[in-house]
Amino acid sequence: MPEFIPMISEEEIKEQTREVGKQIAEDYKDLDLVLVGVLKGSFIFLSDLTRQISIDHEIDLVGASSYEGTSSTGQIVFTKQPDLELEGRDVLLVEDIVDTGQTLSKIVEFIGLLNPRSVKICTLIDKHERREVELEVDYSCFSLDKGFIVGYGLDYNEKYRNLPAIFDLKL
């Protein structure tokens, strides 16, 4: 039976999301913010974060998938393109977790082809240990050295996204 060790509580998530949302609203107040959530893992974080950003902004989604089980396949497949016109706009990518950085670096490259004015990164979790590419994470709610976590949108083989808090998964 897998074991779920509590790591980050609902309260802590709420508090950090509020802080990051406030900072984003301040930083983008004179810009043209478009939040672009990375499917599927960011959907819960995105829905909470957008409600903590008090300035006008728009929301889009990009679909990319790279993972099977707990180790990367090294391949990334785009499953959804953004719908909005991003040219000349200020894109903030919203991700659940940055691990090796491979997924986001390819998404940043792809979004760059759409000629936005700026592209920055906001992640719920910044996981350092296995970083393979140099990637500047502009906003993160939590840092993690290692481990595999689930809940609040984060999955293991598509399960456990529904858990309201974040747990360390021991298989």
Shorter beta-carbon distance to ligand IMP: residue 116 or 151: 151
Question: How far, in Å, CA of 100 to CA of 92, rounded?
Answer: 19
Residue 96, interface with ligand IMP (CB under 6 A)?
yes
Question: How far, in Å, CA of 96 to CA of 56, rounded?
Answer: 23
Q: Of ligand IMP, Mg ion, none, which one sits near residue 166, judging by CB under 5 to 8 A according to partner kind?
A: none
Q: Specify whether the backbone of 25 is left (phi greater than 0), alpha (psi in -120 to 50) or beta.
A: alpha
For residue 23, give Cα distances in angstroms to 92, 108, 138, 145, 170.
13, 21, 11, 24, 34
Residue 140, interface with ligand IMP (CB under 6 A)?
no
Out of 44, 154, 163, 166, which residue is the one contacting ligand IMP (CB under 6 A)?
154
Amino acid found at 7: M
Active-site residue 99, yes or no? yes
Q: Of Mg ion, ligand IMP, none, which one sits near residue 37, judging by CB under 5 to 8 A according to partner kind?
A: none
Bridge partner residues of 59 (DSSP): 35
Catalytic residue among 99, 126, 155, 168: 99
3-state secondary structure 91-148: EEEEEEEECCCHHHHHHHHHHHCCCCCEEEEEEEEEECCCCCCCCCCCEEEEEECCCC
For residue 29, give Cα distances in angstroms to 32, 80, 136.
8, 28, 21
Out of 98, 107, 141, 163, which residue is the one contacting ligand IMP (CB under 6 A)?
98
Q: Which stretch binds ligand IMP (CB under 6 A): 5-13, 18-26, 86-94, 142-150?
A: 142-150
Q: Which stretch binds ligand IMP (CB under 6 A): 4-12, 82-90, 91-99, 112-120?
A: 91-99
Shorter beta-carbon distance to Mg ion: residue 54 or 75: 75
Contact footprint for Mg ion (CB under 5 A): 41, 67, 155
Contact footprint for ligand IMP (CB under 6 A): 41, 66-67, 72, 95-104, 127, 148-150, 154-155
